[in-house]
Structures are given as structure tokens and as C-alpha cells.
Amino acid sequence: MRKKIAGFGIPLFFIFPVLGFCSVLFNYRNKSSATIYVLFTMLLGYSISFSDSSADSYRYARAFINFDNTLNYNTILSLYLNGELRDLYRLLLFYFVSIFTNNPKVMYAFAGLVYGILSYLSLRVLIKERGERFDFYTFVLALVFFTYVSLSSLNGFRFNTGALLFFLSTYFFIIQKKNVWGIGLLLTPLFHYGFLLAVPVIFSYKIVELFLSKKNEVNKILFIIFLITYLMSWFLKLNSINLGFLNESEVISDAVGQRLNYVNSSDVASLVENRKENSTFLSVQKFFDYGIKIYILIVIVFLRKLYKKTAMNDTFLKALFSFVLFYYSFCFIATSFPSGSRFLNIGHLFFVILLIKFYSYNKKKSLKKIILFALPVFSFSILFINFMLPLLILSPTFWYGNVFWIIIEGLNFS
């Protein structure tokens, strides 16, 4: 039955794209699933309405329309190498698309092409680690995972595309021990300068990992560091850590240094705090973020006890658990910077894989209850990212039109 539904995927995509995308869920191993997934992401990018002035997509659309297409590939690259640009991906994308159109919908379609490929590959990682079993508990974890690789995150494609590449590269580089993926990590700052802070952390872990590993247990030092940074994250004020030493070291470019100085300033810290106090949305989000942090601690402590009791002799699971402790420790410190919480979202991907891997080995009732609690804890993110955000940024035609209708409607956008 699933194969029959999947077989109609591509024709169904052109007639009714949303249903065509849903067909992917019935048989993700079908060869056409990847094609439909990526085409759907491109169409989603093309369908962004750019009507919400507060959305990242609105700013990127305006920037593309006003893009100076006399800036060719060599000029853009020279500007980056001379330290005048913070990152490369956005302008290179602008340059490539501007050769044949000034329509930002087309630009976002190409951004969707890259994002869709990386998002699909990320989901394949989850499917691989999940194993053959699929039930309500794996569905809950898959829903949380998909939320953080969601297609609607294409709205802010610079950081979010880099985040997917960062996740995939780190997973294969650290967990699967495939060193060639270190190149992928080095490429992430080209998508967003913020990864300049995270990439050295991952390479540092690669170096010290051998000294931290023990035969059959997760290192206590990592667990203690996790607890210390977790407690610190509740008390650290915004921008309580000064990043000025990075500029003094001359490791980063002038453009990145100026941006970090701005982001790391007391003025920005005050601005962010005022927004949180005056925005109902941010206040609610803050409440759920606290819930996620508490949930993470409870689950980590629970899994550590379960790991010890069952005496699992699994090298992969130990490596994954150790890295989750380490990476969350970095994230708890990173949240003291404006937008630093975005690195936590990448951590949640590894966290879900850790949970689903434990569940593949052990179906204890207590573990099932822990997994079920993820639904209310992550409910705000699930509802906003997967449902509310698409409704805010996408053209209404996307939900009921066919591919040709949607494309024709957007041809004359300017």
C-alpha cells in the first residue's frame, strides 16, 4: 500500500504539492522521495509572500531586489578574503540568480534547493539511527527532530542552511569518525559568520575526545562540565562574556569583528531584553525555553542512570552521549550571547538521536514516559515552526494551488 502511494508521489506533487509531499512520509526509502522533498522545498521558497516586514525573508528579498549585479563572483570573493564581508553564501546566491532574474521568489527557490538537500540528508540520519521499528514514540521524536530541520526555517536561510551542514558534518566527523567531513565544518562559516565560534569547539573536542573516553562508560568529567554550565546558564546575563579578545587576536576578519563588537555590546543586550519584556510571543517562547532546559537535564540524568544499569557496551552510543554532554555545555554558554540560543537548536537534533537510539535498545515504560513528555515540552516550537510560521510567510495559493498556478502567480513579483 505504501509503495503504491509513493508511486503517485511525483504526479501528485505537480497537481497538489502538499499531498505530494505527504506521500514522501509513506515510503521515504522510495527513490522518488528525495526528489519530491527537494522540489517541494524549492516550491515553498518560491511561494514566500514577503509580506511580513518582520520576517528574515522580507529583508533578504529587499536586499536581492537592490543587489548590485555588477558584483561578480571574483569581486565578491575578493571582498570576503579582504575581510569586508562577514560570509559568502548569500551574496554568491544573489549573484548567481541575478544573472537571469531579479525576482526574489526565484532566489528563494534556489535557496530551497540547497536547504532541501541538507534537510533531507538530516532526516535520513534520524531514520538510520531509528532502526526498522516505527511506533508512536518514534513518531514523537521524529516530529521534534523535523521541527528543527523544518522547511519553514528556509525563511532565514543563511544561518539555518549553515546549521544543517554543521549538524551533518559534526555527526559524521565526530560520531561516525569520518574525517573528510571536517571540510564540511570548515565551510559552515561561509553560510553564516556565527559558526566561526562553534567550529573550533568541535575540532577541540575531536582532539581531547581520546583522553576523555573510557571503555564502557560516559566520562564523569563531561557530565560535571554539563552540570556546571547548565547551572551557569540560569544566572549568566546577556553578553556577560566579552568577545573582544577575538578582535585582538586578528583571527577573524574586520567585518566579522565589527559585527561581534556590535552584537556583544551593552546596547544590543538592553535591546534584546526590552523586546522580551514587551513581546507576548517572546515571553511565551521564553517560558517554553525554560521547560526545554529542565527537560534536557531530567532526560540526561535519566539516560545516564539507564546507561549504567544496562551496562551497554556500545561504542557508538557512548560517543554520541559524550558528545551531547559536551555540545550542550558549549550551548549553555553560547546562550549568554544574542542569538546564541540558535546553537541549542542544533544540540536538540543530537539529543533526539540519542533518545531514539536508547529507545531502539530499550523499550522500558519509564523511557516511553520520558519520550511522551517531549510533546508538551516542545509543543510551542512544533506549533510555531511547523504551522504558524508557514501560514505567516507563504502565499495562500501554496496551500491549494498546483505547481503551475503557483509559479505563474509569482512570475511578475518585484
339: closest CA among 212, 142, 198, 168? 198
Domains held by the chain: number: 1
pLDDT of the residue at 4: 54
Task: Give yes or no for residue 172 having a pLDDT over 90.
Answer: yes
Task: Give yes or no for residue 5 having a pLDDT over 60.
Answer: no
Would 21 be classed as within a structural domain? no
Q: From CA 209, how far away is CA 323, in angstroms rounded?
A: 9
CB neighbour burial string for 7-17, b if at least 16 within 10 angstroms, e if fewer: eebeebbeebb
Task: Give yes or no for residue 402 having a pLDDT over 70.
Answer: yes
Q: Residue range 116-123: average pLDDT?
A: 96
Q: From CA 153, how far away is CA 316, in angstroms rounded?
A: 30
pLDDT of the residue at 82: 85
pLDDT of the residue at 399: 94
Instruction: Look over the chain and give the mean of its residue pLDDT values, rounded to a whole number.
Output: 88
Q: Residue range 238-242: average pLDDT?
A: 70
What is the model's pTM?
0.94
Q: How far is CA 102 from CA 61, 233, 249, 404, 413, in A?
A: 10, 44, 40, 20, 9
Q: Residue range 287-306: average pLDDT?
A: 94
Mark residue 156 as left, alpha or beta (left: phi above 0; alpha: psi -120 to 50; beta: remaining). Answer: beta
Q: Of 247-256, 311-320, 366-375, which has the strongest mean pLDDT?
A: 366-375
Would 235 be classed as within a structural domain? yes
Helix axes 342-361, 104-130, angle to 10 degrees: 30
Tell me: the pLDDT tens digits for 26-62?
A: 777 677 889 999 999 999 999 999 998 889 999 999 9
pLDDT of the residue at 273: 72
Q: Decide if 161 contacts 60 (C-beta within 8 A).
A: no
Q: Residue range 351-357: average pLDDT?
A: 95
Q: From CA 99, how far away is CA 104, in angstroms rounded?
A: 12
Would 310 be classed as within a structural domain? yes
Q: From CA 186, how far away is CA 184, in angstroms rounded?
A: 5
Task: Give yes or no for residue 89 having a pLDDT over 70.
Answer: yes
Q: Residue range 70-89: average pLDDT?
A: 85
Would 92 be classed as within a structural domain? no
pLDDT of the residue at 257: 75
pLDDT of the residue at 214: 61
Q: Residue range 230-247: average pLDDT?
A: 77
Q: How confident is the model at residue 208 (pLDDT cuts 50, 70, 90)?
A: confident
pLDDT of the residue at 7: 58
Would 117 be classed as within a structural domain? no
pLDDT of the residue at 243: 67
Give me the DSSP letters along 360-383: HH---HHHHHHHHTHHHHTHHHHH
pLDDT of the residue at 376: 95
Task: Give yes or no for residue 146 having a pLDDT over 80.
Answer: yes
**Regarding predicted confidence, which is higher, 5 or 79?**
79
Show the domain range for 312: 218-394
Tell me: the pLDDT tens digits for 179-206?
A: 999 999 999 999 999 999 899 999 999 9
Would 256 be classed as within a structural domain? yes
Task: Give yes or no for residue 237 having a pLDDT over 60.
Answer: yes
Q: From CA 379, how far away is CA 373, in angstroms rounded?
A: 10
Q: How confident is the model at residue 169 (pLDDT cuts 50, 70, 90)?
A: very high
Q: Residue range 382-402: average pLDDT?
A: 93
Would 340 be classed as within a structural domain? yes
Would 57 be classed as within a structural domain? no
pLDDT of the residue at 78: 87
The maximal CA–CA distance of the chain, rounded, in angstroms, is: 64
Task: Give yes or no for residue 388 having a pLDDT over 80.
Answer: yes
61: closest CA among 96, 123, 108? 108
Q: From CA 125, how far away is CA 317, in angstroms rounded?
A: 14
